[in-house]
Structure 1
Amino acid sequence: MFKSQKLFITILILLSTSIFANDCQDIRLDQGENAPFKNLPIHDQMYGKQKDSQMCYAFAGSQFIDAVIQNDLKAKGHITSPITSALQTKLSPTRANGSRVNLLSNISRGAGRSGLGVGQINILFNQLRQGYSCDQNFLTSIGIKDPNTFWEPFVYEFYSNKTVEEKINSVKEELRLRGVKEGFFDIVNDETLAIAVTKKGFYLREQAIFDKICENNKIELSLPELEYHDYSPSDVGYNETDDEFKKRFQVDEVNPHAIQNISTSLESGNNLPVIVDICAEVLTEKEKSFKRSLPAMNGSCSNHSVLVIGQRKAMDNSCQYLVRNSWGDYRNYDEAWEVDEKGQIWVDAKTLSSSILKVIHAK
């Protein structure tokens, strides 16, 4: 028994070594003449140190869309708005059986916030397959950046005991105080504002505003077919021990299949990034990987969507992956990681694999 167990462990080590010390071609989707991310800025989901929008799924998804747009040469300089990507995701969410969620019940998402935070990136792509990309540059030019700061006045006025005209005037006044430019009011007239402060259905009110804004500032999308790989334990019991979980799911410390999916896609020549959902904490504390926080992640692992836009061979011949994050100027990364001036992080394959929940890439 002991000899067979030792042989099994040896085989696992050899398999792991072959996966994580592979040829590992040097690939950078942010460098070179036709690199899609060469001139695409990194979005900032934080909106300041204390204002996390929790829209990482929309930021990662929007940047993937931008890579598609840049590769197709549709509109150089166009940057997809994560706000409108998130809104389209929330507008027509579908259940597992394909039925639509009742939007009319979505009247409030609390405290005047936009309600666009926390979402699933696979739903985003399903909804945007025939959706549109609205230009973030234009939204910024008319003073719209933080979806919560922008949308709060609309929610407050929806619940206020005022006439429609009074609500419209109050919204205008408050939006100007929050930095919204006159160009916004040149596009969004009082009739549209009236819909936004009276219509039932939380996201339907937002749709009226953003459809008007984006009318002449959007690109219709045609996205490639995607493959989804789910490595997250959807039915981990809160009272289950690590040993019990590993016995049921045979969880290994590393996930060679996930790494292989990433490398194969990057090396395919499609010039597109790979989206991975990871344990966010591994970026700030290397040891807090997904697999080490089981069972039930113990409250120490939060799902975070990022892009992998490159790979390289390290000095020890292992493979490293370039992660494009969406934390803006936030620089509290683990000292083990090499971080460039843009906030992109080089993470070794073994650690990344132990933190992966999902992998999404073009077929």
Structure 2
Amino acid sequence: MIKLQKLFITTLTLLSTTIYANDCQDIRLDQGENAPFKNLPIHDQMYGKKKDSQMCYAFAGSQFIDAVIQNDLKAKGHITSAITTALQTKLSPTRANGSKVNLLSNISRGAGRSGLGVGQINILFKQLKQGFSCDQNFLTSIGIKDPNTFWEPFVYEFYSNKSLEEKVKTLKEELRLRGVKEGFFNIVDDEVLAIAVSKKGFYLREQAIFEKVCENNKIELNLPELEYHDYSPSDIGYNETDEEFKQRFQVDAVNPHIIQNISASLESGNNLPVIVDICAEVLTEKEKSFKRSLPAMNGSCSNHSVLVIGQRKAKDNSCQYLVRNSWGDYRKYDQAWEVDEKGQIWVDAKTLSSSVLKVIHAR
């Protein structure tokens, strides 16, 4: 049955692009009076050219949340923190049915990094259904920017052999050296800091800090229902040969169903972006990114989450998507793509469709 389902899906994917009858009307979610991305900045998951935080899922998810906030609450100036969004995701499924459940993943891990990188958008939104958006502007004002830089001293002190009082003292000194402002210590007292350097659950330690910091700087969320479309290759079947696998995932250079999903959502009038998981290489090396070469299986595909916030018809009558990335002011994209003044990228819709692994949009 599973093989029949997969064969059916593959057959649909291979249909002619005439299925795609969209006229590619001009849409920009960053322009116009009520455009949700008009005043939302492009974020940088590298945190100032440092080591990649690998939090693209949290940046894409946070900006989707900001679009919802701008549309529903009109909370001017509020920008969702990718750090706290990632943290709430990593606590999965602690909010299931309102209960708290300690997971094996909450047990302390290796020292030095925040551990918030690499996550899944679908888990993020399931968690944030009962979660909150913490204002990154406020976190920045008290010196919390890069989660790794901020969190390293907590990890080091947790593993030290000092008394709890000495741990807290050293922690405060190190945080100040790393740019944390007095406003942080006015909110997070020594008692909370003591919990954060002694609690065994790694993410639970972070939770103790950020729930205190965000207490008066957060918005409770009311997120829309989402649809998830998965186009990524699954593992090879137990009795399946390599040739059978390749045949099953041999995809044309255009996936009309992906184009339909993205454009239909943009044109629905919901004023919300579409989240897509893509092979990141389509942005920097166009010809190396097609799924027809099975990049997800040969190591040449980096799974990356971005937003599609607009579309337009190009001079050659092709449809282009406006991609909002989280690489800051990065400009070394493939020469085939146009980069606008904000650092967003116009990518050919058909080319992008061949490198999309997942599509997530509001119903």
**TM-score (norm. length: structure 1):** 0.90
2:197 aligned partner, one-letter code: V
Cα distance change, pair 312–346 in 1 and its aligned pair in 2 (3 A): same
Counterpart secondary structure, 2:351: helix
Contact 1:103 1:202 (C-alpha < 8 Å) held by counterparts = no
Q: Post-superposition shift, 1:251? A: 2.9
Cα distance change, pair 151–329 in 1 and its aligned pair in 2 (3 A): same
Indicate the residue corresponding to 1:70 in structure 2: 70
Q: Post-superposition shift, 1:243? A: 4.9
Contact 1:114 1:148 (C-alpha < 8 Å) held by counterparts = yes
Q: How far apart are the structure 2 equivalents of 1:45 and 1:309?
A: 19
Gaps of 5+ in 1: 1-11
Q: Post-superposition shift, 1:199? A: 0.6
Indicate the residue corresponding to 1:256 in structure 2: 256
Higher alpha-carbon deviation: 160-169 or 283-292: 283-292
* Fraction of identical pairs, as percent: 89
Q: How far apart are the structure 2 equivalents of 1:101 and 1:233?
A: 32
Q: How far apart are the structure 1 equivalents of 2:189 and 2:158?
A: 17
Indicate the residue corresponding to 2:245 in structure 1: 245
Q: Compute the RMSD of aligned alpha carbons.
A: 2.4
Indicate the residue corresponding to 2:288 in structure 1: 288
Cα distance change, pair 289–133 in 1 and its aligned pair in 2 (3 A): same
Contact 2:192 2:208 (C-alpha < 8 Å) held by counterparts = yes
Indicate the residue corresponding to 1:22 in structure 2: 22
Counterpart secondary structure, 1:252: coil
* 1:107 matched to 2:107: yes
Offset from partner CA, 1:279-330 (integer Å, 9 cap, x none): 0111110012241441643111011000000000011111000000000022
Structure 2 counterparts to residues 294-309 of structure 1, below 5 A: 294=294, 296-309=296-309
Contact 1:242 1:295 (C-alpha < 8 Å) held by counterparts = no
Q: How far apart are the structure 2 equivalents of 1:179 and 1:63?
A: 26
Cα distance change, pair 280–250 in 1 and its aligned pair in 2 (3 A): closer
Q: Post-superposition shift, 1:246? A: 3.8
Contact 1:290 1:301 (C-alpha < 8 Å) held by counterparts = no
Indicate the residue corresponding to 1:8 in structure 2: none
Q: How far apart are the structure 2 equivalents of 1:54 and 1:148?
A: 11
Q: How far apart are the structure 2 equivalents of 1:295 and 1:270?
A: 33
* 1:134 matched to 2:134: yes
Q: Post-superposition shift, 1:105? A: 5.2
Q: How far apart are the structure 2 equivalents of 1:203 and 1:154?
A: 12
1:339 aligned partner, one-letter code: V
Q: Post-superposition shift, 1:201? A: 0.3
Contact 1:43 1:328 (C-alpha < 8 Å) held by counterparts = yes
2:16 aligned partner, one-letter code: L
1:340 aligned partner, one-letter code: D
Structure 2 counterparts to residues 1-363 of structure 1, below 5 A: 15-16=16-17, 19=20, 22-93=22-93, 102-103=102-103, 106-236=106-236, 243-249=243-249, 251-294=251-294, 296-363=296-363
Gaps of 5+ in 2: 1-12
Cα distance change, pair 110–290 in 1 and its aligned pair in 2 (3 A): farther
Offset from partner CA, 1:10-38 (integer Å, 9 cap, x none): xx99932562x731000000000000000
Q: How far apart are the structure 1 equivalents of 2:42 and 2:353?
A: 23
Q: How far apart are the structure 2 equivalents of 1:358 and 1:121?
A: 10
Indicate the residue corresponding to 1:4 in structure 2: none
Q: How far apart are the structure 1 equivalents of 2:345 and 2:192?
A: 43
Contact 2:89 2:128 (C-alpha < 8 Å) held by counterparts = yes
2:166 aligned partner, one-letter code: E
Contact 1:290 1:356 (C-alpha < 8 Å) held by counterparts = no
